[in-house]
Amino acid sequence: MIKPVYYADTSVVGGVFDREFHEITRVFWRQAKEQRFGVLISALVGRELVNAPERVRRFYEQDVKQSARTMDISEEMLDLAKAYVDSGAVSVGYQDDAIHVAAATISRVWAVVSWNFKHLVNIRRENIFNSVNVLHGYPSIRIISPLEVIEDETADSMD
């Protein structure tokens, strides 16, 4: 069986310390470390964490970088992100969200994983992102929460 690879945005790093999301996020990163699935992040995650609390930056440096592969942002990704903004998938003020989706799309991962329900994990926006992808010759991309990725540790199979 092919191991899935997911693109994790910055919210999945900070989610480790978020009261609402910490339990699921910790399971996500533990299972990634156990190599139950692959995780890809972009250099944008590190840049977005520059002003994050120390404990978030420390978690990123000590845990995330050990569990995920990091990629640079290319011109192709920036061009696709601009197309997303131009289409109204996100506004120009949230261009970084568009860059995350572009990085995932161009990398052909299984899905973007995010806790950002306002700008990313949203079926209407996912449809806009995918319309742009089709117009530009890219595959569709799913945008999901970590809850949809982690394996149920109490079940023996996918009943």
71 burial (CB, 10 Å; 0-12 / 13-18 / 19+) is middle
Model pLDDT, residue 159:
47
Model pLDDT, residue 158:
47
Q: Is 124 inside any structural domain?
A: yes
Q: Which tokens is 73 given?
A: 């942002």
pLDDT category, 75, cuts 50, 70, 90? Answer: very high
Say how far apart CA 157 and CA 159 lie, in whole Å.
Answer: 6
Q: In sequence order, what are the residues at sequence separation of 6 or more whose Cβ sits closer than 8 angstroms to the Cβ of residue 10?
A: 44, 45, 48, 49, 100
The per-residue pLDDT for range 25-37, each reduced to its tens digit, is: 999 999 999 999 9
Q: Is 108 inside any structural domain?
A: yes
For the domain that residue 52 is a member of, what is the CATH number? 3.40.50.1010
Q: What's the average model confidence in pLDDT over 95-101?
A: 98
Q: Is 157 inside any structural domain?
A: no
Kindly tell me if the per-residue pLDDT of 156 is higher than 60.
no
The total domain count for the chain is 1
The per-residue pLDDT for range 107-141, each reduced to its tens digit, is: 999 999 999 999 999 999 999 999 999 999 999 99
Q: Is 153 inside any structural domain?
A: no
Q: Is 32 inside any structural domain?
A: yes
| Residue 135, helix vs strand vs coil | helix
Q: Is 98 inside any structural domain?
A: yes
Q: Is 154 inside any structural domain?
A: no
What's the pTM value of the predicted model, to 2 decimals?
0.94
Q: At what angle do helices 95-107 and 123-135 cross, to 10 degrees?
A: 60
Q: Which domain holds residue 81?
A: 5-148
